[in-house]
Amino acid sequence: MSDLHELMPLMMKGTLVTIQIAVVSILLAIVMAGVATALRAAPYRIVRWIGNVYVEVFRGTSLLVQLFWLFFVLPLPPFNLQLTPFTVAFVGLGLHYGAYGSEILRGALRSVPGGQYEAALALNMPAAARLRRIVLPQAMINALPPATNLMIELLKGTSLVSLITLSDLTFRARQLDEATFKTAEIFGLTLLIYFVLAQVIVAVMRMFERRVNSHVAIRRTRTIPRAAS
C-alpha cells in the first residue's frame, strides 16, 4: 500500500457502498416526502397529526442518534428487531431526509399561484386533472432546486453510516489511514470522491429540471385548448 493507486481498489469498494446507500435512501426519501405531504394535507385532523409528528420528530432530532437508535435500540426488548447495517443506513437516511423533503414539497405546492387553481376551476377541470396538469408540474419546477441541495446533504450524511460498522467510503478511508498513515492523501482522495459524486447529482438533477421545464411548457400550450373543448 505504498502508492495511492494501490489504495484505489479499497476506496472504490467503499465508494460503491456509498452510492448504493445514497440511491436507495434518496428513493425512500422521495416516497416518504410524498406520503408525509399527503398526510399533512388530509381533511382529517388525526391524519394530519400523524404526518406532522413524523416530520417534526425526524427534523428535530439528530440523524446520528436516529441511526444509533435503529441500530442499537431496536434489537433490544420489547422491539427485538435486528436490522442489517445497510437497512439501518437507508431507512434512517430515507426517513430523516424525507421529513425535510416534505417541507420542500409542501412549500412548492403552496407557491403555485392561486390564479392557476381559479383558471382550472373556470375551465371545469376535474380535481385529478388540475393536480396532474396544473399543480404538480409547476410545484415540481419550484421543488427541484432545493431537492437537489437536499440530495447532496443526504450524500454527505452517508458518511455517518461508518459509525454503524458499514464499510462505506468514510469507513474505508479511516481503515486505510490507520494502516498506512497516509492521512493527507487518503482523506484528500475521499474529499475528491464525495465532490465528484455531488457533481453527478447536480448534473442529473439539472438534466431532469430541463426536461420538466420543457414538459411543462408543452403542457401549457395544450391544456387550455383541451379544457375548453
Q: Are 224 and 123 in contact (CB under 8 A)?
A: yes
Across the chain, where does the E strand assignment appear? none
Minimal CA–CA distance to 93: which of 147, 14, 15, 32?
32
Alpha carbon 24 to chain centroid, angstroms: 9
> What's the rounded Cα separation, in Å, for the pair 137 and 141?
6
The owner of cell 493507486 is 5
**b/e burial code for range 4-34 (CB count within 10 A of at least 16 → b):** eeebeebbeebbebbbebbebbbebbbebbe
> What's the rounded Cα separation, in Å, for the pair 73 and 70?
6
Burial of 221 (0-12, 13-18, 19+ CB in 10 A): exposed
Minimal CA–CA distance to 191: which of 167, 161, 159?
159
Task: Quickly name the fold that domain 4-228 has.
Answer: MetI-like fold (1.10.3720)
Q: How many CB atoms lie within 10 A of CB 192?
A: 10
> What's the rounded Cα separation, in Å, for the pair 52 and 18?
30
Query: pLDDT tens string for the chain (229 positions)?
Result: 455 677 788 899 999 999 999 999 999 999 999 999 999 999 999 999 999 999 999 999 999 999 999 999 999 999 999 999 999 999 999 999 999 999 999 999 888 877 776 777 777 777 677 777 777 888 888 999 999 999 999 999 999 999 999 999 999 999 999 988 889 989 999 999 999 999 999 999 999 999 888 877 766 666 545 544 4
What angle separates helix 183-228 from helix 4-40, to the nearest 10 degrees? Answer: 40
Q: Are 187 and 130 in contact (CB under 8 A)?
A: no
> What's the rounded Cα separation, in Å, for the pair 10 and 110?
46
The structure's pTM equals 0.89
